[in-house]
Structure 1
Amino acid sequence: MQIKVTLLDDTLYECELDKHAKGQELFMKVCDHLNLLEKDYYGLAIWETPTMKTWMDLTKEIRRQVQGANYNFTFNVKFYPPDPAQLSEDITRYYLCLQLRKDILQGRLPCSFVTLALLGSYALQSELGEYDPEVHGSEYAKEMKMAQGQTKELEDKMMELHRTYRSMSPAQADLMFLENAKKLSMYGVDLHQAKDLDGVDIILGVCASGLMVYKDKLRINRFPWPKVLKVSYKRSSFFIKIRPSEVEHYESAIGFKLPNYKAAKKLWKVCVEHHTFFRLTSSEMATTPRKFLALGSKFRYSGRTQAQTRQASSLIDRPAPLFQRSSSKRNSRSLDGGISFLIRLMSLVSRAHGTLFRITCEMFKPVVMLNQCFPFSSFPQKRSKKLEGETIYIRHSNLMLEDLDKTQTEIMRHHTSISELKRSFMESVPEPRPSEWDKRLSTNSPFRTASINGQLQPAVSLMSSVQCRGT
């Protein structure tokens, strides 16, 4: 059978499988195609309607889970990690960013104008890199769709914030995006239409922390997993049994009405999977009869739990994978933040002393670069790995190269000058009265330029001050 899977960057992956192939075989093919190792957070979605999806059961045959011969699926985030910083690889965080951008664009993850502009600026930094007026022009944010009916005011604010970022790598921009997105109230919530026992329309949301109840877009109740003793369904009704509090003596049961039997069963399965993934240490614990599961059902979550996934991630031993970003198609590597810092530092030094030094991407291993730039340092030697890329020219100081004609006193003076340049590069003036934007953008962030009296200063003035100090 011919299968098509739409990926998170909207590209299409096609493959041909045996008609008896199970979901696990297709899922592994997609993850191998994406070079993704931390795959337990993701899943394959079957779309019955444009707004109604069902997660593919990887233990069952694919053909038994679809209607007719429609073998079109999507690759999506299934379990949203509560702390994305604990993910081991940049590529995992990047695909999570793509999913969240889809959630925002499609209205599943509402956020304020301030947060939307901030997230958009990090998305621009991730896709386009640092702002370059000769390359990007004046209206480059139009191509970055963050919301339906995106306004020019939003695009201007995204570009204004993006232009303040300095030496922020794509991987660091992704992490900053996730650190702000995870604070949103609807982050990682799987929504299901329902009614309460009085027939009032509500929405039930399942997430890492428990079961939420929403009415008119406001959360009216919350049932954390530790307080839930059991979830079950009967016909089109869904029930949860709540653990009694210290002042109560009996367990309480709460019921909800779903549109039909299939919807009730789907909600029950989503609850079982989220509870097992986020609360249990291993999926084998869910194979034995438990009070949490409904009696008579054979369904059990068969994948790895978050605890097992984190343990497996800590054992990943491979170089940071190269991958292409959807807009700019630029190669990303987890070490590019350190490389950007070194390039900027060396460019500052070159303001005082101008000799052209040719560095190719073969030398782009931070430890190797430091040993070449600072022969007096005692960094451990590591063999550099060869990366394909363009040759980069940056100005390099004569004082940073060994010169037998210089006296020992002159060499020490030059080394002191370099140390001062490093220290002044990392210094920033604290802001006495941070604005709303500065509160959202960490004032201690090394990616911000220096600020004076609450106003961001352009990079040119910062470099000029460093140049004067060095000379």
Structure 2
Amino acid sequence: HKVEAAIKTEPEVLEEVKEEVREKTEEEPAEEEKEARQEEKTKEEVKKEKPVKEKKADEAKGSKRQKVMQCKVTLLDDTQFECELDKHAKGQELLTKVCDHVNLLEKDYFGLANWETPTGKIWLEPTKEIRKQVSGAVYEFTFNVKFYPADPAQLTEDLTRYFLCLQLRKDIIRGVLPCSFVTLSLLGSYTAQSELGEYDPEVHGTNYVADLNLAPAQSKELEEKVMELHRTYRSMSPAQADMLFLENAKKLAMYGVDLHQAKDLDGVDIMLGVCSSGLMVYKDKLRINRFPWPKVLKISYKRSSFFIKIRPSEQEQYESTIGFKLPNYKAAKKLWKVCVEHHTFFRVSTVEPPSSRRFLVLGSKFRYSGRTQAQTRQASSMIDRPAPRFARSASKRLSHNLDGGMCVKQLRQWDVAGSSIRRAAAAEGKGRREVCSAASPSSSSC
């Protein structure tokens, strides 16, 4: 109160205080503006000093997450191949990357499959975008044989034959390639020779094939028979063992047959099988009909029905159409696609390019886009590279080359033991009748 009174009583002092306050209030905004300008200046300098590369890297990180997709492929030796592709990449781009990774040139026999169920797969179409065919954060496929050659001996490289052997071993394990005990023993002995090499008691020991996956229900009896045969092979290279494996496997009734569930016109459950030679009909695991590709005039589907138009025989005057009922529309279209691809690959010399006309297009636009078997064989005959050396799945040994020819006489000598075992088993009634009448000569192949 004394201070206030002093100020009131002394007007000169009051004026001085007011002037000091006014000067302070005028100076404060000037200093704040100065600090704000300084901050803006430093920000501009920092922006100028930031490297251009760093900016691009930051931009790329944001765009990369959106523009690429992760693909994972399980190879035939059960190893994994992973890669990144552009989100608009087509199936052919991924297949090419996989084939380059495994050093495969005869790639037209192979494809990439996506498994909808443990027993049902769809093939990745090369000409369509991957993300439009399969959904998921990571796109997962398996690398498989799509077209099983009727004569594997006509394959050019050992690597291709080895991959075919790996596929057939998987088919046996999955139960889609049924074999008798005798055939399993013989094929198992060639697998042991291919993966483990020539028998050496110091290296292999006694029960050395127990770790090899040879059959769906692998028994001790089977392993002993496989070892008995394997010990008889001398100077047989892994590639020669693969050839003998294929020569015996191709005679099986279900070799290379792609099965589809269906019903006949009477509603009876059947299986329709597609292979290199035509379309098969199975009932209760026995083949009841066969339509070779030369006899098939037309294949079509409507809703869930599948139709085959058959060429008339010499005794018949008119064409006939046979119909089957599939579980749904999707299954009917899937079977039709498989038939179109197999017929084109094995029966047509060259594939015609798709028409450029975009009007009056009726029905499905699907066409087989790859090379045919005739074109593949022609291209394979022009392969000019040293035989690829590759590690085998079990032993990781380098393959000995068989490319460029083999001693057929020696191969026949190695096969004598297996042939004698088959004949002895058949004579004693030990040979079990294989699925789809595989024991009869008429059905030894598709």
Task: Give the TM-score range, shorter chain.
Answer: 0.7 to 0.9
How far off its partner does 1:337 sit? 11
Per the normalisation by structure 1, the TM-score is 0.71
Mapped to 1, the partners of 2:123 and 2:272 lie a distance apart of 17
How far off its partner does 1:336 sit? 9.6
How far off its partner does 1:128 sit? 0.6
Q: 2:351 aligned with 1:283, yes or no?
A: yes
Q: 1:286 to 1:21 in 2, by over 3 A?
A: closer
Report if aligned partners of 2:70, 2:137 keep a CA contact under 8 Å in 1. Answer: no
Q: Of residues 203, 228, 231 in structure 1, which corresponds to 2:299?
A: 231
Partner of 1:316: 383
Mapped to 2, the partners of 1:153 and 1:287 lie a distance apart of 59
Report if aligned partners of 2:305, 2:323 keep a CA contact under 8 Å in 1. Answer: yes
Mapped to 1, the partners of 2:88 and 2:400 lie a distance apart of 39
How far off its partner does 1:69 sit? 2.9
Correspondences of 1:323-362 after superposition (within 5 Å) = 323-335=390-402
Mapped to 1, the partners of 2:370 and 2:404 lie a distance apart of 34
Partner of 1:408: none
Mapped to 2, the partners of 1:325 and 1:152 lie a distance apart of 25
Partner of 1:162: 230
Mapped to 1, the partners of 2:86 and 2:125 lie a distance apart of 17
Q: 2:282 aligned with 1:214, yes or no?
A: yes
Partner of 1:26: 94
How far off its partner does 1:67 sit? 2.7
Correspondences of 1:41-440 after superposition (within 5 Å) = 41-284=109-352, 296-335=363-402, 435-437=420-422
Secondary structure, counterpart of 2:121 in structure 1: strand
How far off its partner does 1:91 sit? 0.1
Q: CA-to-partner distance for each residue in 1:394-438, whole Å, 9 max, x for gaps?
A: xxxxxxxxxxxxxxxxxxxxxxxxxxxxxxx99x9xx9xx84347
Mapped to 2, the partners of 1:438 and 1:148 lie a distance apart of 24
Q: 1:298 to 1:74 in 2, by over 3 A?
A: same
Matched AA of 1:120: G
Q: 1:224 to 1:103 in 2, by over 3 A?
A: same
How far off its partner does 1:70 sit? 4.5
Report if aligned partners of 2:387, 2:403 keep a CA contact under 8 Å in 1. Answer: no
Structure with greater contact order relative to length (CA < 8 Å, sep ≥ 6): 2
Mapped to 2, the partners of 1:439 and 1:183 lie a distance apart of 19
Report if aligned partners of 2:169, 2:214 keep a CA contact under 8 Å in 1. Answer: yes
Q: How many residues were matched structurally?
A: 347
Mapped to 2, the partners of 1:67 and 1:12 lie a distance apart of 20
Mapped to 2, the partners of 1:250 and 1:325 lie a distance apart of 54
Report if aligned partners of 2:344, 2:351 keep a CA contact under 8 Å in 1. Answer: yes
Matched AA of 2:131: R
Partner of 1:407: none
How far off its partner does 1:47 sit? 0.9
Mapped to 1, the partners of 2:110 and 2:121 lie a distance apart of 14
Mapped to 1, the partners of 2:99 and 2:403 lie a distance apart of 24
Secondary structure, counterpart of 2:281 in structure 1: strand
Q: CA-to-partner distance for each residue in 1:348-377, whole Å, 9 max, x for gaps?
A: xxxxxxxxxxxxxxxxxxxxxxxxxxxxxx
Secondary structure, counterpart of 1:332 in structure 2: coil
Mapped to 2, the partners of 1:9 and 1:262 lie a distance apart of 31
Matched AA of 1:307: A
Secondary structure, counterpart of 2:192 in structure 1: helix
Secondary structure, counterpart of 2:116 in structure 1: strand
Q: 1:439 to 1:303 in 2, by over 3 A?
A: farther
Secondary structure, counterpart of 2:244 in structure 1: helix
Uncovered stretches (5+) of structure 2, i.e. residues with no partner: 1-68, 426-446
Q: Percent of aligned pairs with the same residue?
A: 78
How far off its partner does 1:283 sit? 1.2
Matched AA of 1:319: P
Q: CA-to-partner distance for each residue in 1:82-138, whole Å, 9 max, x for gaps?
A: 000000000000000000000000000001000000000000000010000011010
Q: 1:282 to 1:72 in 2, by over 3 A?
A: same
Report if aligned partners of 1:287, 1:300 keep a CA contact under 8 Å in 2. Answer: no
Q: CA-to-partner distance for each residue in 1:287-346, whole Å, 9 max, x for gaps?
A: 699xxxx96221110100000000000000111001110000001131599999xxxxxx
Mapped to 1, the partners of 2:406 and 2:337 lie a distance apart of 46
Partner of 1:346: none
Secondary structure, counterpart of 1:124 in structure 2: helix
Q: 1:219 to 1:70 in 2, by over 3 A?
A: farther
Matched AA of 1:304: R
Q: 1:239 to 1:214 in 2, by over 3 A?
A: same
Q: CA-to-partner distance for each residue in 1:419-461, whole Å, 9 max, x for gaps?
A: xxxxxx99x9xx9xx8434789xxxxxxxxxxxxxxxxxxxxx
Report if aligned partners of 2:70, 2:85 keep a CA contact under 8 Å in 1. Answer: yes
Per the normalisation by structure 2, the TM-score is 0.74
> What is the Cα-based RMSD across aligned positions, in Å?
2.5
How far off its partner does 1:284 sit? 1.6
Mapped to 2, the partners of 1:337 and 1:265 lie a distance apart of 42
Uncovered stretches (5+) of structure 1, i.e. residues with no partner: 341-424, 441-471
